[in-house]
A and B are shown apart, each in its own frame.
Chain A
Amino acid sequence: MEKSFLEWIVYIIQNYGLWFLKGAGTTLLISFFGTIIGFIIGLVFASIRTIKITHNNFKKILMKIINFLISCYVEVFRGTPMMVQAVIIYFGMQEFMGINFSPTVAGLIIVSINTGAYMIEVVRGGIESIDIGQLEASKSIGMNHWQSMIHIILPQTIKNILPATCNEFIINIKDTSVLNVISVTELFFVTKSIKGAIYRTYETFIVVALIYLILTLTITRIIRYIEKFMDSTDKFTPASSTMPIIFVKKTGEK
């Protein structure tokens, strides 16, 4: 007897649920750590980019070269599809450098450097949005560029770019699906395998669409909660401002 649509869905979840779970695990793993590593790449490279050399010509030229190389990295990785990057890096490394990564590790590397390219621009925008007075004040007490960045500028920047970073994480959850070209067993690759096993394209992909949706919606919720929590951490009432109010009330009662 032919199964109905819903029966197929139930059948797929019952028989292949564990496959989906494993695929979702790989997807989350790659996109989560890829976003974090990309975020760190962004912080480091954007901090390098904002170094300003006012004197010393040799250092000025050196900075120009470094800035040019960073621009090349950003433009190349933003200007080509991640799927193409994945194939070139994965097979290129095997063929020309003899380096054999497992597909998952290769996937993680690709997502990291791809996210990094986007994050450099996001972080740079974030740094530039911080009032220049903050940097001047940190310099005026003798901090060097990295001390200023680590203790003053980046903490403020990170707070501002957190939404953009989380957005990048959600994009990565969806975009890791292109890693199926190098056989990373993430969610999309697993779905293709299941489809191949039971010959039900439509039902299988409906299930995976729901899984992706559950992942992204849950994470959006968690992020919103974190943002709310961060906003509520700056509450303070100084002792001296409450004291007079209490005093006034007491005299008023008499």
Chain B
Amino acid sequence: MALTARRQVLETEPLATAKTAKVAAHGVTVFYADKQALEDVSMDIRGHEVTALIGPSGCGKSTFLRCMNRMNDTIAICRVEGEILVDGVDIYGPGVDVVHLRARIGMVFQKPNPFPKSIFENVAYGPRIHGLAENKVALDDIVETSLRRAGLWDEVKDRLNEAGTGLSGGQQQRLCIARAIAVSPEVILMDEPCSALDPIATARIEELIDELREKYTIVIVTHSMQQAARVSQRTAFFHLGVLVEQGDTEQIFTNPVEKRTQDYITGRIG
């Protein structure tokens, strides 16, 4: 049944989009034990754009995000059907090394989760485990570049050996972004990265997301429609485990096709 659904999607989808899309999901269906969390989601995520996933709590947007780097694998009762192609390769296919996949598709979480190590070690963690730096100088270089890209360098350059957990919430989140980009991912998934931050720190992260778009493909889950409107080029609206509508952000917010999208954006549901 899932197979036939997948085939239908493949047939209806023009081959060209599957090639230009950085990430292409086809008929993704997710169960937590017997409970269905996501039903037949198909969408394309284009490279070097910010795609926002919006929708009310429990609509499946975070679940979908976590499918893209197979973080759902860490949940024993979670089952994923359908396929997600990254650069045309199904990440749920046989022979895909989840460790390599996650190095290519980074993730930033809702609550800042720096490791209980120094600021330097937090950023150096990824390059170390993947052997990206040949020597100390190269490692220093990666750490500095990553912190600069995350807009944190000037604030922490004199205290790289202090604990990452000692930073403020907004700084911790930027540290987590620096940690994610230190492994040079192609895609960065952000799961409500600003929900634990104050407005000023949020504005800082939003600016950063816009800058990062140049080098990375970004998918961001957010509860804030203003945030989605501010940072994203594409928006997808999820409701009750179904992808209701996707399109250019401007179109979704000004002229949605679906009535449910309209209702959500104007605050009638959710």
Q: Do A and B bind each other?
A: no
Residues of A within 8 A of B (CB): none
